[in-house]
């Protein structure tokens, strides 16, 4: 296991290098002049040239990339062209709101999705199955921004039960987490159902039933653990998508997180913030995949890594 972890951690370096190159090229292909945006609409050409020189944008592209890579190798992501603050400080302030929102969304989505999926598998082709899969299809089909505005209109504007925007209270997490986790819960429900249906037709399940094992014990002890490996894979991927895909939800609810920061950075062509956030999201996906691989061995002890 230790050798496996060491190899995977070393494998992070070339992956992050490739991502850094692609991110650097991508942000420089964005239309618009960040120096002009940073200087302001009233600035003259001389002022814009000074700002461009201060940002290092007047240097050749290869030289800019070398300086960019040298800084991130030393943990320095530069200074935001929009706020003139260190990028690490900007991201540090926005990271926890996004992480907490993602965790809350993931917890309820996994619990609800797995419950619906298991129920649909146990009562397959009956009304609980049809109801559960109808809810799952609805959750996947309904756009996040539309669901967020609908929930806001009902529970914030009409009923006044919950705040419209994030204010740090637990109530402010309800609507954004429901919006963000709806699609994940739907995917988890469908994936859990498919995995359970397959496992419940295995020989060891029929043997347990033939021995007179109670049905609830067959489901919890024999079926659940064996069906969890593909489900854990989906959980890891969905968690990564939640972290990186919270942009729309954060914009709808004006949530002070990384997604909102990224939208503002793209609008202002804030290269350092854009580069740092995309690298952070890439690192999160890699780490989550590593954690999922380790969980395989925890769920199924027969799995060994080399």
Least confident of 131-145, 182-196, 211-225: 211-225
Averaged confidence pLDDT in the chain: 77
**204-217 per-position pLDDT tens digit:** 777 777 777 777 67
The band of 32, judged by pLDDT with boundaries at 50, 70 and 90, is low
pLDDT value for 39: 66
Instruction: Report percent pLDDT > 70 for the chain.
Output: 85
**If you average pLDDT over residues 283-300, what whole number do you get?**
73
Who has greater pLDDT, 120 or 294? 120
**If you average pLDDT over residues 173-189, what whole number do you get?**
85
Who has greater pLDDT, 31 or 187? 187
**59-78 per-position pLDDT tens digit:** 777 887 787 778 877 777 87
| Cα–Cα distance for residue pair 225/235, rounded to 1 Å | 15
Question: How buried is 279 (Cβ within 10 angstroms: 0-12 exposed, 13-18 middle, 19+ buried)?
Answer: middle
> Half-sphere exposure of 293 toward its Cβ, with a 13 Å CA cutoff?
16
pTM summary value: 0.76
pLDDT value for 4: 65
**222-263 per-position pLDDT tens digit:** 677 777 777 777 777 777 777 766 777 888 888 888 888 888
DSSP 174-217: HHHHHHHHHHHHHHHHHHHHHHHHHHTTSHHHHHHHHTT--HHH
pLDDT value for 303: 59
| Cα–Cα distance for residue pair 22/17, rounded to 1 Å | 9
| Cα–Cα distance for residue pair 242/208, rounded to 1 Å | 38
Are the C-beta atoms of residues 121 and 192 closer than 8 Å to each other?
yes
**If you average pLDDT over residues 103-109, what whole number do you get?**
87
Sorted by where each starts, the structural domains of the chain and their CATH numbers stand as 2-73 (no CATH), 93-299 (1.10.3720.10)
The band of 160, judged by pLDDT with boundaries at 50, 70 and 90, is confident
Are the C-beta atoms of residues 120 and 128 closer than 8 Å to each other?
yes
pLDDT value for 80: 80
How is residue 114 written in tokens? 């797995």
| Cα–Cα distance for residue pair 14/10, rounded to 1 Å | 8
pLDDT value for 117: 84
Residue 302 has pLDDT above 70, yes or no: no
Are the C-beta atoms of residues 121 and 130 closer than 8 Å to each other?
no
**If you average pLDDT over residues 169-189, what whole number do you get?**
83
Q: Would you call 86 helix, strand, or coil by DSSP?
A: strand
Residue 305 has pLDDT above 60, yes or no: no
Q: What is the dihedral of CA 72, 73, 74, 79, to 10 degrees?
A: -10
The band of 300, judged by pLDDT with boundaries at 50, 70 and 90, is low
**If you average pLDDT over residues 92-103, what whole number do you get?**
86
Q: How many CB atoms lie within 10 A of CB 38?
A: 21
Residue 192 has pLDDT above 60, yes or no: yes
**If you average pLDDT over residues 263-287, what whole number do you get?**
81
> Half-sphere exposure of 202 toward its Cβ, with a 13 Å CA cutoff?
16
Who has greater pLDDT, 294 or 127? 127
């Amino acid at each position: 296991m230790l050798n496996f972890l060491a190899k995977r951690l070393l494998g992070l370096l070339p992956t992050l290098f490739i991502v850094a190159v692609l991110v650097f090229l991508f942000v420089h292909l964005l239309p618009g002049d960040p120096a002009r945006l940073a200087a302001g609409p009233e600035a003259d050409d001389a002022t814009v040239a000074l700002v461009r020189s201060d940002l290092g944008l007047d240097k050749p592209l290869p030289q800019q990339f070398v300086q960019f890579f040298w800084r991130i190798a030393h943990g320095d992501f530069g200074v935001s062209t929009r706020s003139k603050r260190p990028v690490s400080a900007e991201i540090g302030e926005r990271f926890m709101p996004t992480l907490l929102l993602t965790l809350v969304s993931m917890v309820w989505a996994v619990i609800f999705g797995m419950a619906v999926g298991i129920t649909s598998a146990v009562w397959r082709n009956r009304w609980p199955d049809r109801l559960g899969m109808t809810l799952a299809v609805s959750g996947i089909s309904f756009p996040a921004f539309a669901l967020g505005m609908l929930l806001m209109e009902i529970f914030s504007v009409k009923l006044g039960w919950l705040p419209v925007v994030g204010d740090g209270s637990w109530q402010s997490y309800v609507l954004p987490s429901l919006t963000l986790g709806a699609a994940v819960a739907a995917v988890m429900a469908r994936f859990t159902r498919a995995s359970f249906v397959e496992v419940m037709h295995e020989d060891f399940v029929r043997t347990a039933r033939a021995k007179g094992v109670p049905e609830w014990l067959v489901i919890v002890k024999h079926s659940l653990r064996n069906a969890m490996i593909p489900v854990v894979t989906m959980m890891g991927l969905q968690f990564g998508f939640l972290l990186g895909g919270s942009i729309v939800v954060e914009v709808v609810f004006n949530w002070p997180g990384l997604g909102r920061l990224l939208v503002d950075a793209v609008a202002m062509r804030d290269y350092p913030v854009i580069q740092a956030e995309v690298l952070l999201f890439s690192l999160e996906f890699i780490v989550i995949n590593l954690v999922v691989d380790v969980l395989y061995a925890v769920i199924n002890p027969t799995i060994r890594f080399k």
